[in-house]
Amino acid sequence: MNCTACTHPLDAPAQLCPACVRGLDVRLSELPGQYLLLATHLRPGAARGDGPVALVRTPPLPVREDVLDMRAEGGLVTVLEGWREAMQQARGWGPPARTGSIERRVVAAARGLRMNIEWIAESFPGAGDMAREIRHLAGQAAALLDPAPSTLSVGDCAAELGGDICGAPLRVPHGTTTVRCCRCGTDYPPHLWMTLATGAWAAPAGAAA
């Protein structure tokens, strides 16, 4: 039997390996804080402390739609609530309440999933999909919070962190040829970009590239 998120072999029957459970738990604990921080990144450059904005006689910069989408209904909150509802349904429970501000709903959904993480890891049939989707979501949030202006996307970070895959989106910043993961700090020299971009890394044959 293998982990349904990373396919590593398991010692005992379960849905997730210990490393994927740890990664999922850490991401669920970090996502509410990331959600709050995203509010300070709604305008380009807003988080960099460029000085007293009121003194600058230029129109306000447009709102970053990618940040707005992540914070709105249908974004981060919907992914977390969707998985919480699927988990509760699988346990034979009714759907969770979705009340209050989006901030409160994010906190409630993440907490509801963490409180059931042992059951999820052992018995939830959707655990693998859930772990992968939450990993992608956390990577997207981390990339939006990365203040460095960046351009070309070369794929997701393939670094292993204690058996778990980092998964943060990687981009080539302006004027450099070094790609560094904004989440775990792994460096990717240019000769590895094509491997990342094609996803060959995920296949066992590409692991040594």
Q: Which stretch binds Zn ion (CB under 5 A): 11-19, 82-90, 134-142, 188-196?
A: 11-19
CA-nearest of 150, 121, 123 to 24 is: 121
Residues 6+ apart with CB under 8 A from 30: 138
CA-nearest of 31, 29, 1, 49 to 147 is: 49
Is 209 a binding residue for Zn ion by CB under 5 A? The answer is no
Q: Which stretch binds Zn ion (CB under 5 A): 33-41, 117-125, 140-148, 183-191?
A: 183-191
Q: What's the closest the beta carbon of residue 138 comes to Zn ion, in angstroms?
A: 11
Q: What's the closest the beta carbon of residue 156 comes to Zn ion, in angstroms?
A: 8
Residue 54 tokens read as 């009121």
The residues pairing with 170 across neighbouring beta strands, listed in sequence order, are: 155
Is 154 a binding residue for Zn ion by CB under 5 A? The answer is no
Q: Which stretch binds Zn ion (CB under 5 A): 93-101, 118-126, 140-148, 185-193?
A: 185-193
Q: Which of 80, 109, 166, 196 binds Zn ion (CB under 5 A)?
A: 166
Q: How far apart are the two ends of the chain, measured CA to CA in Å?
A: 27
What amino acid is encoded at 30 in this protein?
A: E
Give the footprint of Zn ion on this chain (CB under 5 A).
Answer: 3, 5-6, 8, 17, 20, 157, 159, 166, 168, 181, 183-184, 186
